[in-house]
Amino acid sequence: MSDGASKFLGVLGHPIGHSQSPRLFKRILSAEGRDDVAYRTFDLPNIEDFHTLTQDHPNLVGLNVTVPHKQAILSSLVRVSEEAQAVGAVNTLVKTPQGWEGHNTDVWGFQRSIQPFLANRHERALVLGTGGSAAAVHHVLAKLGIDAISVSRTGDSTKGTRALGRASIGYHEVSEWVVRHHLLVVHCTPVGMHPHDGDMVPFPTSWLTPEHLVVDLIYTPAETRLLREARGRGAAVLNGADMLRLQAEKAWEIWKTSGV
Ligand SMILES: NC(=O)c1ccc[n+]([C@@H]2O[C@H](COP(=O)([O-])OP(=O)(O)OC[C@H]3O[C@@H](n4cnc5c(N)ncnc54)[C@H](OP(=O)(O)O)[C@@H]3O)[C@@H](O)[C@H]2O)c1
């Protein structure tokens, strides 16, 4: 804990070294003049050790949760917000007198980050990947009335924790027709993330057009190979940096409302 801090917040995951959250919250806490609150990382390989961790740190009042615990932690919580229940994953925890409660601010972050870029023509979407972030993305697209198809390596999104989107196809089924009829593409896999900057999911970028908006939730590198190729076809592109900042700001708002 830093000098003067009487309570702390943190991020829980495994591995955790790559997390951008400490940097983001250092900035938020400093901008708010909150030197009574510190932010740190918790590398927790086994989610069964969550209770021991919270007992060992009684001044811990809030947590961000990242891969691989966003879903597994649900059973350790006393309450889960409606939105997080709908998504089936949490990324923000608040300590209450009854126990820990969970929220999902990825939903807020994703929605606020894409809204300025959406046009009427973006009425159908392809969502690449079927993990936790894809579930948040599907939830937002459904709220916005955008019809989404799930694209995965198996072509079967029900193999994940829940059914995603109105249909599910494999990458090999993404034909020119499919690309031309889905003007929003959202990439929700870790493929292409630093240090594997040259990697890309097998998505046929040659059929993208200037009408397309391609969103990659990855924020390092700032431009993945997928976004570079999409930009090369004239598509509008957006990385995950805005979503990351917005979900952190929303988490801080939740913590402040809870009395942090
Ligand atoms: N910007 C933000 O604020 C933000 C927030 C959350 C997540 N993210 C980023 O989003 C990405 C995904 O996060 P997540 O939490 O959803 O991860 P996840 O739960 O581990 O899911 C990733 C999905 O990616 C697909 N996948 C994994 N390895 C693959 C491979 N080698 N080839 C093709 N597909 C593969 C899998 O889908 P299939 O098996 O169905 O193909 C899997 O379900 C990460 O890079 C993360 O950093 C960013």
CATH code at position 153: 3.40.50.720
- Around Cβ 138, how many Cβ atoms within 10 Å? 26
The alpha carbon of 58 and the centre of ligand 1 are apart by a number of angstroms equal to 33
The finding on whether 193 has its CB within 6 A of some atom of ligand 1 is yes
Q: Is residue 2 part of a domain?
A: no
Give me the helix-helix angle, 105-114 and 132-143, nearest 10°: 60
The finding on whether 128 has its CB within 6 A of some atom of ligand 1 is no
Q: What share of the chain is helix, strand, coil (3-state, %, to 5)?
A: 35, 20, 40
- Model pTM score: 0.94
Q: Which of 103, 125, 158 is the last residue of a domain?
A: 103
pLDDT in tens, the chain (260 residues): 455 789 999 999 999 988 999 999 999 999 999 999 999 999 999 999 999 999 999 999 999 999 899 999 999 999 999 999 999 999 999 999 999 999 999 999 999 999 999 999 999 999 999 988 999 999 999 999 999 999 999 886 555 445 466 689 999 999 999 999 999 999 999 999 999 999 999 999 999 999 999 999 999 999 999 999 999 999 999 999 999 999 999 999 999 999 99
- Are residues 115 and 169 located together in one domain of the fold? yes
- Are residues 44 and 132 located together in one domain of the fold? no
Concatenated DSSP letters for 201-214? -S--GGG--TT-EE
Q: Is residue 253 part of a domain?
A: no
Q: Is residue 69 part of a domain?
A: yes
Q: Which of 103, 137, 154 is the last residue of a domain?
A: 103
pLDDT of residue 166: 64
Domain count, the chain: 2
Q: Which of 53, 87, 103 is the last residue of a domain?
A: 103
- Are residues 233 and 155 located together in one domain of the fold? yes
- Are residues 158 and 219 located together in one domain of the fold? yes
pLDDT of residue 161: 42
Q: Which domain covers residue 98, as residue numbers?
A: 7-103
CA–CA distance, 91 with 67 (Å, rounded to integer): 9
- Cα angle value 185/14/95 (rounded, 5°): 95
The alpha carbon of 67 and the centre of ligand 1 are apart by a number of angstroms equal to 9
- Are residues 213 and 123 located together in one domain of the fold? yes
Q: What is the DSSP letter of 115?
A: G
CA–CA distance, 260 with 253 (Å, rounded to integer): 10
The finding on whether 227 has its CB within 6 A of some atom of ligand 1 is no
Q: Is residue 227 part of a domain?
A: yes
The alpha carbon of 236 and the centre of ligand 1 are apart by a number of angstroms equal to 21
Tokens of 245: 């900042």
> Is the four-CA dihedral 109, 105, 217, 174 of positive or negative sign?
negative
Tokens of 74: 């649900």
- Are residues 98 and 153 located together in one domain of the fold? no
